[in-house]
Amino acid sequence: MALTHKINMYETDHEDASKTMVTFVVQNDGVGDSFVITKRIVTASKTKEVILTEALAAAQAEIDAWVASLAVVGQVWNPSTNSIDAP
């Protein structure tokens, strides 16, 4: 499964100016599904690349859970055999 991570938002957190809010839209290129996630990262004197790297690392567990939830999407369940039919 190929994933594309698009940056949807990158701005100063309105509630805490010491943080940057980063929103990714993660797209599953194989099925067309997408997952949106926002993380707040302490800005300090970090570059945009470092902030984006930290935001993705903070989001990775939730992205992984979303990917796992797609494991059987689109497959055919056969109630006669109580199994997933081979494609």
How would residue 77 be classed by pLDDT, with cut points 50, 70 and 90?
A: very high
Residue-wise pLDDT for 18-68, tens only, equals: 999 999 999 988 777 899 999 999 999 999 999 999 999 999 999 999 999
Give the rounded distance of the alpha carbon of 83 from its chain centre: 29
Give the structural domain span for 74: 3-84
> What's the number of domains the chain is made of?
1
Q: Tell if the pTM clears 0.85, that is, is over it.
A: no
